């Protein structure tokens, strides 16, 4: 649905996007993670046909972003939530959405249905006749999300969709994105919120001018280090260590009466490990699992680029 191959954008001597290659399937939620100034918004603007590329290729639903006729078709099938919402402050919330619905050539019936649906969903229906200039940042953000969806696009580009939102509104937006996924919408999501990315994204790209890693959240986490089982014992002794060494485990470390053991399959290996400890006369106080997080993966790749 969204394809890029060696996509590059330069601003004079500055390379903002450097030979970016990826493929996003229909119905996928793709998270684009990276530090400020990494080139994420520039990439999104190229894919939404707002700025031109310097080199490489990019296609949206088979349409070429660099072809003038195709770019018009792309604009009809994508919805965009930009970094700056860009609403009309002197129009009401309803009239803002109605105006953009007309630009997308939505019928009057479709406009009315979609405006009410999205304003109710995002908690703005009671504010529909209020001038947008009086809205808070969070209210403007929600209205801009409704604007991106007013024409029922196949593909959504969302640049920090939960920025400026309170926790309840953020959850509403996340749940709505998951509902859109069920409808086979394809979503390209720029975010700094790692927990949000983990919850809703099928695939994540870690990006800092260059694409540094790509995969599911679980694949990225697994690339950092293996799962570890931590076992707190009442008392460590040589008999327990010998019993564990007989299991041919990959790596065993001790910290006073604590064991830290690398495991490939915790559900399968942990019961065997505990059984060996108990069989050697050990007393287990607790067992916990230590797994790498998406934050660990992000920092590994971003810092490794410095």
Closest by CA to 176, choosing from 196, 190, 193, is 196
Least confident of 42-51, 203-212, 223-232: 223-232
Q: Which pLDDT score, from 0 to 100, does residue 181 have?
A: 86
Over residues 19-23, the mean pLDDT reads 97
Query: What is the C-alpha to C-alpha distance for residues 268 and 242, in angstroms, rounded to an integer?
Result: 20
Q: Which pLDDT score, from 0 to 100, does residue 266 have?
A: 86
Is 60 exceeded by the pLDDT of residue 150? yes
Kind and range of the H or E element at 200?
helix 194-200
Q: Is 182:252 a contact under the CB 8 Å cutoff?
A: no
Q: Which pLDDT score, from 0 to 100, does residue 31 have?
A: 96
Query: What is the C-alpha to C-alpha distance for residues 216 and 166, in angstroms, rounded to an integer?
Result: 27
Q: Is 45:51 a contact under the CB 8 Å cutoff?
A: yes
Q: Which pLDDT score, from 0 to 100, does residue 277 have?
A: 96
CATH 3.40.50.300 is the classification of domain 2-215: yes
Query: Strands 2-11 and 55-60: what pairing?
Result: antiparallel
Q: Which pLDDT score, from 0 to 100, does residue 219 have?
A: 92
pLDDT single digits (tens) 245-299: 999 888 899 999 999 999 888 889 999 999 999 999 999 999 998 888 899 999 9
Mean residue pLDDT across the chain: 92
Percent of the chain whose pLDDT exceeds 70: 99
Q: Which pLDDT score, from 0 to 100, does residue 169 have?
A: 83
Query: What is the C-alpha to C-alpha distance for residues 152 and 63, in angstroms, rounded to an integer?
Result: 18
> What is the number of alpha carbons within 13 Å of residue 299 lying toward its C-beta?
6
- For the chain, helix (H) and strand (E) counts, in that order, are 11, 14
CATH topology of domain 225-292: Alpha-Beta Plaits (3.30.70)
Over residues 1-13, the mean pLDDT reads 96
Work out the pLDDT band at 140, boundaries 50, 70, 90. Answer: very high
Instruction: Report the 10 Å Cβ neighbour count for 44.
Output: 22
Kind and range of the H or E element at 204?
strand 203-208
Structure-token pair, residue 18: 């450097």
Q: Which pLDDT score, from 0 to 100, does residue 65 have?
A: 96
Closest by CA to 24, choosing from 228, 185, 193, is 185
Q: Where are the domains of the chain?
A: 2-215, 225-292
- Pick the more confident residue, 78 or 173: 78
Helix, strand, coil percentages (3-state) for the chain, rounded to 5, are 40, 30, 30
> What is the number of alpha carbons within 13 Å of residue 165 lying toward its C-beta?
22
pLDDT single digits (tens) 46-66: 999 999 999 999 999 999 999
Q: Which pLDDT score, from 0 to 100, does residue 179 have?
A: 85
Query: What is the C-alpha to C-alpha distance for residues 7 and 54, in angstroms, rounded to an integer?
Result: 8
Q: Which pLDDT score, from 0 to 100, does residue 201 have?
A: 95
Instruction: Report the 10 Å Cβ neighbour count for 86.
Output: 9
215 - beta bridge partners?
Answer: 204
Work out the pLDDT band at 45, boundaries 50, 70, 90. Answer: very high
Is 70 exceeded by the pLDDT of residue 306? no
Q: Which pLDDT score, from 0 to 100, does residue 137 have?
A: 87
Q: Which pLDDT score, from 0 to 100, does residue 285 have?
A: 95
């Amino acid at each position: 649905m969204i394809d890029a191959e060696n996509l590059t954008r330069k601003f004079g001597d500055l390379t903002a996007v450097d030979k970016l290659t990826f493929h996003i399937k229909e119905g996928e939620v793709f998270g684009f993670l990276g530090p400020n100034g990494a080139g994420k918004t520039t990439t999104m603007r190229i894919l939404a046909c707002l700025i031109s590329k310097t080199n490489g290729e990019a296609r949206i639903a088979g349409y070429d972003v660099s072809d003038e006729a195709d770019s018009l078709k792309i604009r009809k099938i994508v919805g965009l939530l930009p970094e700056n919402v860009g609403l009309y402050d002197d129009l009401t919330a309803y009239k803002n959405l109605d105006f953009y619905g007309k630009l997308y050539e939505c019928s009057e019936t479709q406009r009315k249905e979609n405006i009410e649906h999205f304003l109710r969903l995002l908690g703005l229906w009671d504010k529909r006749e209020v001038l947008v200039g009086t809205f808070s940042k969070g209210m403007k953000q929600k209205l801009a999300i409704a604007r991106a969806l007013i024409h029922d696009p196949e593909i959504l580009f969302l640049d920090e969709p939960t920025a400026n939102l309170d926790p309840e509104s953020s959850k509403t937006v996340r749940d709505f994105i998951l509902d859109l996924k069920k409808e086979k919408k394809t979503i390209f999501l720029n975010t700094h919120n790692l927990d949000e990315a983990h919850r809703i994204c099928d695939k994540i790209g870690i990006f800092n001018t260059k694409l540094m890693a790509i995969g599911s959240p679980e694949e990225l986490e697994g690339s950092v280090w293996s799962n570890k089982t931590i076992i707190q014992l009442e008392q460590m002794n040589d008999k327990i260590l010998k019993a564990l060494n007989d299991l041919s485990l990959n790596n065993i470390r001790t910290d006073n009466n604590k064991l830290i053991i690398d495991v490939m399959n915790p559900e399968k290996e942990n019961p065997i490990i505990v059984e060996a400890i108990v069989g050697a006369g050990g007393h287990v106080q607790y067992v916990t699992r230590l797994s790498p997080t998406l934050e660990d993966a992000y920092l590994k790749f971003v810092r490794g680029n410095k």
